[in-house]
Amino acid sequence: MNLAIFDLDNTLINGDSDHAWGEFLVENNIVDQEEYAFNNDKFYHDYTLGALDINAYLNFCLKVLAEHTLEQLLSWREQFIEKKIRPILLPKAKALIEKHRSDGDTLLIITATNRFVTEPIAKMHGINNLLASEAEKQNGCYTGKPTGIPCYQEGKITRLNQWLEQQEQHFDQQTFYSDSHNDLPLLKQVDTPVAVDPDPQLFEYATTKGWSVCSLRDAAK
């Protein structure tokens, strides 16, 4: 059996769900608009440079989860999915997923974005296996803090290895699709790395190494 691993943001969807969630919070006046928008953009810029302090970012973006009831958060999340995520779904990504599904491959999404944001997006793609950064809960409520190993850069390798140890079956081949140079640690580990609409750093590395490069958008890169 083979394993098909997918990054989420800017790979299976045409945008970044974490940053989009921040935009949604700002647009709906759920957070301080000026301050939150500034920090949301700054953290995303750091991410694109490969210089993101993941723990600082998770503390920033998870804080809002502790400030509202779960019922309210879930209501906002439904609105967010319809307004921000559904318009950026990619038909070619769905076709790629279905190709792997029809081949009998196990499907897994691995993402630095937290589970609260990404779990419904994974379900929209029909993928039950999700590795994401985790938000701490106590007594059924979010604390606003992260827990466990962030699913980012080398952390994706650790989280994937932990997940693999829990699986009953052995995977003969592992394919990983990603757009970001932040995923180079895991891309270098798998049998088949695929650069999907890659950022400039990943495109340069992938072409140098002779990796497959593809686009899931209408216009190929």
Q: Is 199 a catalytic residue?
A: no
Q: Which of 9, 179, 197, 199 is catalytic?
A: 9
Q: Is 9 a catalytic residue?
A: yes
Which pairing describes strands 173-178 and 192-196: parallel, antiparallel, or unpaired?
parallel
Rounded to whole angstroms, the Cα distance separating 126 from 133 reads 20
Q: Please, what is the end-to-end C-alpha distance for the chain in angstroms?
A: 31
CA angle 220, 15, 5 (to 5 degrees): 75
Q: Which of 7, 179, 197, 199 is catalytic?
A: 7
DSSP H helical segments within 14-53, as ranges?
A: 17-27, 33-49
Structure tokens at 18: 């974490």
Residues belonging to the active site: 7, 9
